[in-house]
Structures are given as C-alpha cells and as structure tokens.
Amino acid sequence: MELFSVEFFTALVTIVFIDLILAGDNAIVIGLAARKLPKEQQKKAVIWGTVGAVAIRAVATVLVVYLLKVPWLMVVGGVLLLWIAYKLLVDSEDHDIQAGNTLWQSIRTIVIADAAMGIDNVIAVAGAGHGSILLVVLGLVISIPIVVWGSTLFIKLIQRFPWIVYIGSAVIAYTAAKMITHEKRLEDVFNQNPVFEWSFLILVVIAVILIGLRQNVRRAKAARQLESGGDSH
C-alpha cells in the first residue's frame, strides 16, 4: 500500500471509525471506574487510565498485525471480526465495573477492564490496517483524543440515532470479509475473480446486518409480549 494513496486514507478513516464505533465501552469503563473519586482526581484517572490502556492496546495491535501474517490466521481473524460485528448489533450487556476508591485503583481498573474489553478493537484495527504498522499507529494517535473527549458525545449520538450502530457493524463486517479475501492462500481465487470478490464482500455485510436485525426484532417482540403479559395480571 502506497503512503498517502487513496487506499491509505480509506484504511485510515476506517480505523478511526472502528475506534469510534467501539469506543462506547471505553467511555462506560472510564465513567464507572472513576465515579467515586473527587472531581479533581477524576480528570487524572481518565487521562492516566486512558494512556495506560492505549499503550497496552497499541502493543497488542502491533503483535496482532504480525500474527495475521501467519498462514490462515487472516481467515481466523476475519471470522472473529464477523462475530464482533454481529455482537455490536445485538449486545445490550450491563457493565459490572467496580469503582476505585483511590486514583491508583481507578487507573488500574480502567487499564485492566479496557484490555479485557478491547480485544474486538485490536482485531478490527489490525485487520483494517492491512499489515501496515504506520496506519495502525496513525489511527490510534488520531483516535485517542477523539475517544477520550468525544466518546461520551458519540454514545449520545448512537442513543439518538441507533442506525449509526448498523453502519458501524457494516464497516466491521466489510473489514472482516476483506481480511478473508486477503488471506495469502485464498488471494489468487479472489484476485482472478473480481466479481466473485465483490459478491462475497457484499453478501457478508448483508448477512451480518440481516441476522443482527432479525435477532433485534425477535428480542423486541419477546419484550413486548412479556410487557403485555405483565400488564394483564
């Protein structure tokens, strides 16, 4: 991939967008971990907790970029990322994060929780980076201030416009499909058949969105039935 080419900037925008769409957990973790601290210490916990979390995430992402060069791991990473795209659509889990009573406890909680919950982000960014360490690092540098100061705003946007999550899921599903097509053992098959490659990419994105949508419709229907059943008693 040429430096500062259209492909380079497209991948960079994709990385930043993935960081943003998966940043909701970061904002929740930071908010919950620092909630018991005095106001003046909350800011320090947010800054140092985020610095520690980003450092661990950067190292993990670079390691994954190298790991994806191992035969067939690109396919494994792509399949994992498809699961992440689906989970983004259907997950409504509660976050059980214990608030720290001291600045150090809060920072430690933010770093550990982010490392555990950031696996999806690491795989997604490594896949979108197409093996370029520069792209991954640039994406992280651009994303850090946006994630730290803008993630709360982004959560509000998602709550107001739920369709943003579907766009995010589609971008992650597309990145996953691209990872599979870039697997060295399969590259020739896709390179020789561009129509087959584009059909595969489009079908994967549509399948993830439709399966997620179906699950959400089922869940909403079950919730309505439960409500109406409760009202009748």
- The C-alpha atoms of residue 97 and residue 105 are separated, in whole angstroms, by 12
Residue 135 near residue 11 (C-beta atoms within 8 A): yes
Quote the pTM value. 0.71
Q: How far is the C-alpha of 115 from the C-alpha of 60, rounded, in Å?
A: 9
| Contact call for residues 57 and 122 (beta carbons, < 8 A) | yes
Alpha helices in the chain (DSSP H): 6-21, 24-33, 39-67, 73-90, 103-117, 119-128, 133-160, 163-181, 184-192, 194-231
Instruction: Of 69, 198, 189, give the one whose Cα is nearest residue 130.
Output: 69
Q: How many whole angstroms separate alpha carbon 15 and alpha carbon 181?
A: 18
List the one residue out of 154, 165, 156 whose CA is nearest residue 212. 165
Write out pLDDT tens, residues 136-163.
888 877 777 666 665 556 656 777 888 8
pLDDT of residue 102: 79
CA 141 to chain centre: 16
Radius of gyration of the chain (CA): 19
* Residue 209, pLDDT score: 95
pLDDT in the model for residue 233:
55
Distances, alpha carbon 160 to alpha carbons 25, 41, 115, 153, 165, in Å: 17, 30, 28, 11, 11
Tokens of 33: 């971990």
d(CA 209, CA 60): 28
Q: Which DSSP letter does residue 97 get?
A: -
Domains of the chain by residue range = 6-231
Using 50 as the pLDDT threshold, list the residues of the chain that sit under it.
none
Amino acid 37: pLDDT: 77
Instruction: Give the per-residue pLDDT at 195.
Output: 93
Q: What's the token pair of residue 64?
A: 């994954």
Instruction: Name the burial class of residue 11, with classes exposed (0-12), middle (13-18) and buried (19+) by CB atoms within 10 angstroms of its CB.
Output: buried
Spatial distance between the Cα atoms of 205 and 175, rounded to a whole number of angstroms: 9
